[in-house]
Chains A and B, each alone.
Chain A
Amino acid sequence: MGLRLPPVPELSEADRALWSGEAGEGPRMAMRVVLALARAVGAERLIDVTSAHVDGCLYHGEVSLDFALRLLDGGARVAVPTTLNVGAVDLLHPDLYRGDPETGRRARRLMEAYTEMGCRPTFTCAPYQVAEARPGFGEHVAWAESNAIVFANSVLGARTDRYGDFIDACAAVTGRVPDAGLHRTEARRARAVFRLEGIPDRLLDEDVLYPVLGHLVGREAGTLVPAMVGLPPGTSEDRLKALGAAAASSGAVALFHAVGVTPEAPTLEAALQGRPPERELAVTPSAVARARDELSTSAGPAITAVSLGTPHSSPAELERLAGLLDGHGVHPDVELYVSTGRGVLAEAGARGWIAALEGAGARVVVDTCTYVTPIIRRPGGTVMTNSGKWAWYAPGNLGVDVVFGSLEECVTSAIRGEVWRDRGLWAGI
C-alpha cells in the first residue's frame, strides 16, 4: 500500500536526557511533542535551531493556557533566543480590547506565561523587524506565524518549516526540530514559475501591486514552491513582506523565490535547482485585475473603519502614514487603526510620528492585530485595508465586509468618510 512505517529518529545524548525527564516534566513533554512531529513527517533525525518565534501566545481557548502552564510549571524554559507573536490583548493599550473580560484575562495570562518561559515579549507578527532577531542566510530556525515563516525563508534565506501552535514552543524549549520540510535543500526548489507579462512599469513601483501579486500566487501555487520572474531588482522588504503575507493567507506558501531579488534566486535556474518546473503561469494584467477584485467583498462607498499594519508596520510605513495624515483629521464616522510592534512603536515615537498619527485621530495598536481580537468598535461594518492578508481573513473572523485599496486610498477614504479611489492607479490593467 506504500504506507511504509516512518523511521525512528536518531537522538543525541541531550535529546535522550530531555526525553527521560532529567530536565523536568515540561522539557520532557516538549521533547515528546517534537518526536511525535518527527514521526508524523518521517524525519530521520533532529537538527538544532538558532532561534524560535512562538505563535502560541495567541489565545484560542482553554487548551492554549493549559499547554503553556504545563510547560512553565514543569520547569520548561526556552533554550534558544525566542520572540513572541501577537497575543489577543494590546498590553500597552488594554482599553482597546472589547471582548469578554474573562477571555481577556486568560489571554493576558497566556502572554505572561510565555514571557516567564524566557521568550522576549516582542508580541509582533514581524519579528524580522526586530534587528537582533533576524536570522542569517542558511540558518535553521523554528518560526511560527505564516507571514514570518515566508519572510524568513524567502527574503532572508533562513530555513524554517511551517511551524505553528504547540510545536513552536516545544522547539524553543528543546532547541530541536525534525530534519524535514523546508530545512532540506531539495524542498526549497521552485516548482511553479510565475512570469509577469505586460504589467506596466509604473504599477511595479506601486506598493498596492504587491499584496495583489501575493494573493494571486497563493491561490495558484497550491503546494508548489513558486518562483516569480519580473519583479524589479531591489524590490523593498516592505513590498516582499506584503506579497508573502498575502501568499501565505490565500495559499500555503511558506517560501517563494523572486528571480534577481531573493537570495536563493540569483537566476531562475538556481531557484529551480537545475530541474524543469512542473507548472508555468503568466501573470497578465487581467489576472492581476481579477486577483485585486477578489480582495474586496464590497463595492459601495460606505466604510466604518480603516485597518493598516498587517503585517505590523515598519518604521518607513509609519513615517509614510504620518506624512499622508499631516494636516488632516480622520473623519468622525470612521475608525482608523494602524498596527505595529512595540519595538517599532518606540522608534516611531522618538521620531514624533506616533504623536502625529494620534493627533490626526488614528489609533495605534501594538501586541495584537485587529483581525484576531475584538478591537474595532462597530462590528458588522465595512472596513478598508491595504493588506491582502487582512482582506482574506477579516470577513470570516470578524463578519465584516472589506474594501481593498492602496495606502493613499485608505488614508484619503478615512479622511473623507467614504471610499475614495485613485483613478489612475490601475491604468493599463
Chain B
Amino acid sequence: MASGRGSEARALAPGRGGGTALVLEEPLSFWGGVDPATGRVIDARHPQAGEVVAGRVLVVPAGRGSSSSSSVLAEAIRAGTGPAAVVLGEGDPIMALGSVVAAELYGLEVPVVVVGPDAYRALRTGLAVQVDAGADGTASVHISPPR
C-alpha cells in the first residue's frame, strides 16, 4: 500500500503504525506536555500547543525534559490517545521505554524510530506515513504520495 518513497530508519521500539503525520517544530516532553486523557499538547511553551497527537504519526526532533514522560506516553497508549507511531530526529530512550512498556502490559505496539536528517526533512504535517519497526532494530518509514 505504501507506494511512495521508503526511508531507512532505526527501531527504538518495535511495531507497525500508520496515519497522518504531525510534525512538531520543537522537542516534546510528554510529562507536562501532553494530556493523556485527550492526547492534546498542553505545554503552553510549545509552539504547537493545542494539537492532538492521538492516532497521528508524531514526528518530533527529540524528546525533552522529565523521565516521567515514559509513563505519560504509556498511559496515553493505554487510553487510546497516544500516537500511532513516533518518528524522531535523534534517539530518545524515554519515549522508547514508554512504548516498550505499553507493549509489555497491554500488547499495544507503537513503533518508535529514528531517521536520518534527509528522511526527517521529507516528513510534513498532513502526509500519510507508515512506520514499520522490527525487534532486531531495523525499521522503515514510508510516505504515501499526496492524492
A426 CB within 8 Å of chain B? no
- Cβ of A92 under 8 Å from chain B: no
Restricting to A12-42, which residues have a CB under 8 Å from any CB of B?
29, 32-33, 36-37, 39-41
Q: Which residues of B sit under 8 angstroms from A32, Cβ to Cβ?
A: 100, 104
Interface size on B, residues (CB 8 A): 44
Whether A274 sits at the interface, judged by CB under 8 Å, is: no
B110 on the A face (CB < 8 A): no
List the interface of chain B (C-beta within 8 A of A).
Answer: 7-10, 12-13, 31-32, 36, 43-44, 64-72, 74-75, 78-79, 91, 93-94, 96-98, 100-102, 104-106, 114-116, 118-119, 136-138
Q: Contacts of A6 on B, CB cut-off 8 Å?
A: 10, 137
For B7, B44, B75, B104, which residue has the most chain A Cβ atoms within 10 angstroms? B104
- For A67, the chain B residues whose CB sits under 8 A away are 74, 101, 105
Whether A396 lies near B68 (C-beta < 8 A) is no
Give the contacting residue for A164; candidates B9, B67, B78; CB below 8 A: B67
Q: A6-B137, A61-B36 are in contact. Are A40 and B96 (CB under 8 A)?
A: yes
Bits for A191-214, please: 1 = Cβ < 8 Å to B, else 0. Answer: 000000000000000000000000
Minimum CB–CB distance from B123 to chain A (whole Å) comes to 15
- Could you tell me if B67 and A66 are in contact, using CB atoms closer than 8 angstroms? no
Instruction: Tell me whether B9 and A3 are in contact (CB under 8 A).
Output: yes
- Bound-state CA distance A184–B141 (Å) is 32
| Smallest CB separation, B13 vs chain A (Å) | 7
Q: Known interface pairs A37-B93, A165-B67, A396-B43. Does A1 touch B8 (Cβ–Cβ under 8 Å)?
A: yes
Measured between C-beta atoms, what is the minimum distance from A96 to chain B in Å?
Answer: 21
Q: What is the CB-to-nearest-CB distance from B70 to chain A, in angstroms, rounded to a whole number?
A: 4
Q: Which residue of B64, B97, B136, B138 is within 8 Å of A167 (Cβ)?
A: B97
CA of A33 to CA of B101, assembled, Å: 7
Say how far A216's CB is from chain B's closest CB, in angstroms.
18
Task: Say how far B52's CB is from chain A's closest CB, in angstroms.
Answer: 18
A32-B104, A41-B91 known, 18 other contacts, Cβ within 8 Å: A1-B7, A3-B10, A3-B115, A33-B97, A36-B96, A36-B97, A37-B93, A56-B71, A62-B75, A63-B75, A66-B106, A67-B105, A146-B67, A163-B67, A164-B70, A164-B97, A167-B93, A396-B32
Q: How far is the CB of A57 from chain B (nearest CB, A)?
A: 11
A55 at the interface (CB under 8 A from B): yes
Q: Does A330 contact B (CB under 8 A)?
A: no
Instruction: Say whether A165 contacts B114, CB under 8 Å.
Output: no
Knowing A3-B10, A40-B12, A62-B75, say if A33 contacts B100 (CB, 8 Å).
yes
Q: Which residue of A lies closest to B70 (CB)?
A: A165
Interface-central residue, A3, A56, A58, A393, by most chain B CB under 10 Å: A3
Q: Can you offer 7 A-B residue contacts whose CB atoms are under 8 A?
A: A33-B104, A64-B75, A164-B97, A166-B70, A166-B101, A252-B65, A397-B32
